[in-house]
Structure 1
């Protein structure tokens, strides 16, 4: 739960402080754009690398490495005096959290196999809380202290993650030592440890990656472009910023609902279609009538974020083993974030090229179609182990 709370704070705390960072560190338009690209780029890279780390070192060691990177990067960038060290240390933070993104679903499957839904509900909800709370506190804390304290203080939450996991790691080692076998403690690889999984052979893995890419692309567009779009339509800057905060907060109720509701459904695509309809209503409303019913359209789009909670849940619903969960988590998040990360840039570039928002909003429609294509592929109850398994050589 604490790990989930910390996963987005270091990302969302920076944008509200960019004004101060530009003056003190020398951020330009180019380096600001690079800063915005680091989270999806590093999340994608380490999404693909983390299953290898998990297979070699185990879930717990991978998680501890993720936290160490996050803490070191956050503390380091809070003390730097130049833009490029700040960017480099931000990359270290995002590498840590890229690993953290991947290890959470298989950790849930390993330690809470009979309570996947409720534990997923808890951690996805806290993920949304962390995303929403750090930008709200960023400016007040910076005003009372400095931007360095405002950015660096979130390392304390990341550090707190180490304490229970070090205790758990020591306890698992003691159990292995006492029993003389790994069977006494939960196995990092799970029942599928005798098999190598090739996720690119699995329609489920591709489906989840496509689904996550379509979903995350829409979310990234809203976090990047909702305030400037509304401001350009005549909404004052403060209200536009509040609309984005409201959009983020709406992720909380759906994050809590989805893992408790969707596992009971024979066809998850029914719930996904409902959330997709919310997305579509929000997109159309904001394009056709941004000033009349603004809050209604943002409400619909915000409720559409239930698709993200569904994606994280499906990692465990479409895998049989902890190893399968880690491979599916890494593959889907790696490709999903890579695909989604470029969409906000394209969204803005299309607007600059055409002078209007029509084609840009049409791009959101394409993202919806991509998402629903992935939803069809993951709807049937089948598992990554069914098509991706390759027996390990003896």
Structure 2
């Protein structure tokens, strides 16, 4: 496993500044016991903070999707502006994710993730009080900027501070992200109704969750004492800027990330409509979408651990792709029959996301390499994903049926598997980038 192959590359970056002095301390007394206990407590706190951040990365979008109609009415928002809301998330993820490695080098990844949590909390809370559609869009973009930075840098934090536990930490991160997605989709409307039906309260309550995550990250930031220049103290291989455009694995990972995002956004955006058009009730259609997302919760935790134990991850690329093809074909021809089966298969195929995150952590040797690979693959990947849901809507509008849109999603899983097979091979981008 690559994370164990070169631990020295990340050990210096992950070690607290006080380590050298503790190494020379006398061996008698409580210090040898206290110091490891303190380090363990700090590691547990950071792991909890990573999970808390991940929970906040999707409610910004999914809570708004659940309340889009009342939000539009309340703000007098046009259909065009509502369409911008659907396009803004992947666009922000693509454009702002590029800035993450540079900010991490200047300020340290913990400081940048802390700022990202502040942006999410401020954007989500503030947009709930505005009466302007334009300001609402702007504040949503502020929150999404925080999501974009955290998307790229949480795998970097994991690589730097948990170099020997990358797989279980990626599993925790992926599972927490799935929990946040499912929680917001399933509870936003009931919470809104319980609070008197105000969409402002229904959206704003998710800002409180972000505030809680921000509080945790502020404590982590204080304990880690990251300051400007911290990253510069890392080993030279960690600071080196890689010619990543010369790495075929990096390009394959970007394409894999983009194609799996296309499938995920297409399914999440249209699945209730697909089921409803097949004769399934609206309430049951919502439950089936929740099933799709719930399936990914346990699998997202287990899959990174299983995938990291193998020399490569090609088996998982193929299995998840075949699940998706079977699920979309089932929806195409028999959405109203065995509906739960298709939901489970589509949910399994969407676990390509935690697999992609795992490969981001394994395909680079250092946290700096992971930062550059994560920024490149996610930014380009999200750009690739933007046309997919729009094209699905256009095909449905022109035909009035779901055969072509679902056929498109099934067909795109073929190139997803092909580029995934290339991305899943056991190698490091550092070797390709300089070769």
Q: Structure 2 length normalisation: TM-score? A: 0.84
| Structure 2 residue 130 is the aligned partner of structure 1 residue 68 | no
Q: Alpha carbons of 1:348 and 1:117: their partners in 2 closer, same or farther (altered >3 Å)?
A: same
Residue ranges of structure 1 left out of the alignment (5+ in a row): none
Q: For residues 103 and 413 of structure 2, what CA distance do their matches in structure 1 show? A: 33
| Structure 2 residue 329 is the aligned partner of structure 1 residue 280 | no
CA contact (8 A) 1:77 1:89 kept: yes
SS of the residue corresponding to residue 241 of structure 2 reads strand
Q: For residues 64 and 109 of structure 2, what CA distance do their matches in structure 1 show? A: 29
| Structure 2 residue 172 is the aligned partner of structure 1 residue 111 | no
C-alpha distance after superposition, 1:134-193 (max 9, x if no partner): 12221122112222122112222222233333333333338x99xxx96xxx87855523
Partner of 1:23: 73
Partner of 2:403: 358
Q: After the TM superposition, which of the residue ranges 34-43 and 56-65 deviates more from structure 2?
A: 56-65
Out of 321, 337, 344, the residue aligned to residue 366 of structure 2 is 321
Partner of 2:217: 165
Q: For residues 67 and 187 of structure 1, what CA distance do their matches in structure 2 show? A: 24
Q: For residues 235 and 171 of structure 2, what CA distance do their matches in structure 1 show? A: 23
Q: For residues 194 and 8 of structure 1, what CA distance do their matches in structure 2 show? A: 31
CA contact (8 A) 1:44 1:337 kept: yes
How many correspondences in the alignment?
Answer: 383
Partner of 1:147: 199
Report how far residue 45 of structure 1 moved. 1.0
Partner of 1:81: 131
SS of the residue corresponding to residue 379 of structure 2 reads helix
Q: For residues 338 and 416 of structure 2, what CA distance do their matches in structure 1 show? A: 26
Q: For residues 411 and 326 of structure 2, what CA distance do their matches in structure 1 show? A: 14
Partner of 1:59: 109
Q: After the TM superposition, which of the residue ranges 262-271 and 120-129 deviates more from structure 2?
A: 262-271
Partner of 1:251: 296
Q: After the TM superposition, which of the residue ranges 139-148 and 102-111 deviates more from structure 2?
A: 139-148
Report how far residue 66 of structure 1 moved. 0.9
SS of the residue corresponding to residue 225 of structure 2 reads helix
Out of 336, 340, 344, the residue aligned to residue 295 of structure 1 is 340
CA contact (8 A) 1:48 1:331 kept: yes
C-alpha distance after superposition, 1:13-34 (max 9, x if no partner): 1112122212211133222211
Q: For residues 241 and 253 of structure 1, what CA distance do their matches in structure 2 show? A: 20
Q: For residues 287 and 278 of structure 2, what CA distance do their matches in structure 1 show? A: 15
CA contact (8 A) 2:56 2:210 kept: yes
CA contact (8 A) 1:74 1:93 kept: yes
CA contact (8 A) 2:97 2:375 kept: yes
Q: For residues 277 and 216 of structure 2, what CA distance do their matches in structure 1 show? A: 48
C-alpha distance after superposition, 1:267-321 (max 9, x if no partner): 3110111111111110110001111111111111111122111001111110100
Partner of 1:242: 287
Q: Alpha carbons of 1:364 and 1:190: their partners in 2 closer, same or farther (altered >3 Å)?
A: farther
Q: For residues 163 and 346 of structure 2, what CA distance do their matches in structure 1 show? A: 32
CA contact (8 A) 2:324 2:410 kept: no
SS of the residue corresponding to residue 196 of structure 1 reads coil
Residue ranges of structure 2 left out of the alignment (5+ in a row): 1-50
Q: Alpha carbons of 1:4 and 1:356: their partners in 2 closer, same or farther (altered >3 Å)?
A: same
Q: Alpha carbons of 1:276 and 1:29: their partners in 2 closer, same or farther (altered >3 Å)?
A: same
Q: For residues 389 and 6 of structure 1, what CA distance do their matches in structure 2 show? A: 37
Q: For residues 396 and 235 of structure 2, what CA distance do their matches in structure 1 show? A: 48
RMSD over aligned CA atoms reads: 2.0
Q: For residues 404 and 156 of structure 2, what CA distance do their matches in structure 1 show? A: 39
Report how far residue 220 of structure 1 moved. 0.4
Partner of 1:94: 144
Partner of 1:386: 431
CA contact (8 A) 1:188 1:322 kept: no
